[in-house]
Amino acid sequence: MNRLITLLTDFGFEDNFVGIIKGVIMQVNPEAITVDISHKVRPHDIFAAAFLLEGAYKYFPKGSIHAVVVDPGVGTERNIILVKTRDYFFIAPDNGVLGLALKNEPVEKIVEVTNSKYFLRDLSCTFHGRDIIAPVAAFLSKGAGLNRFGKEIRYMREIALPPLVREPNRIIGKIIYIDSFGNIITNVKGLDIKGISANLRVKIKDKIIAGLNKSYSSVEKNSPLNLINSFGYLEISVNCARAKDFFGVEIGECVELLK
d(CA 165, CA 109): 33
Q: Shortest approach of a copy of itself to residue 231 CB, angstroms?
A: 8
Q: How far is the CB of 236 from a copy of itself (least distance, A)?
A: 13
* Amino acid making up residue 239: N
251 makes contact with a copy of itself (CB under 8 A): no
Q: 17-28 and 134-141 helices cross at what angle (nearest 10)?
A: 40
Does position 6 interact with a copy of itself (CB under 8 A)? The reply is: yes
Distance of alpha carbon 123 from alpha carbon 133, whole angstroms? 11
What does each C-alpha distance from 190 to 173, 174, 196, 225, 232 come to in angstroms?
13, 15, 10, 15, 6
Question: Applying CB under 8 A, does 125 fall inside the site for a copy of itself?
Answer: yes
- 26 or 144, CB closer to a copy of itself? 26
Residue 93: φ, ψ to 5°? -65, 150
Distance of CA 211 to the CA centre of its chain: 28
Phi first, then psi: what are they for 199, rounded to 5°? -115, 30
240 contributes a contact to a copy of itself by CB under 8 A? yes
Choose one: 2-10, 97-105, 156-164, 191-199; the region binding a copy of itself (CB under 8 A): 2-10
Applying CB under 8 A, among 104, 116, 126, 199 the residue interacting with a copy of itself is 126
111: left (phi over 0), alpha (psi -120 to 50) or beta: beta
**15 lies in the site for a copy of itself, by CB under 8 A:** yes
Asked if 73 is part of the footprint of a copy of itself (rule: CB under 8 A), the reply reads yes
106 is an interface residue for a copy of itself by CB under 8 A: no
- Of 47, 55, 94, 138, the one binding a copy of itself by CB under 8 A: 55
Among 169, 194, 198, 230, binds a copy of itself (CB under 8 A): 230
112, with CB counted inside 10 A (0-12, 13-18, 19+), is: middle
Neighbours of 230 (CB within 10 A): 8
The counts of H helices and E strands in the chain are: 6, 15
Taking CB under 8 A as the criterion, the residue among 2, 141, 187, 229 binding a copy of itself is 229
Q: Which of residues 145-184 bind a copy of itself (CB under 8 A)?
A: 179-181
Chain residues in the site for a copy of itself (CB under 8 A) = 3-4, 6, 8, 11-16, 18-20, 22-24, 26-27, 30, 33, 35-40, 43-44, 52-53, 55-56, 59-61, 64, 72-76, 124-127, 130-131, 179-181, 214-218, 227, 229-230, 240
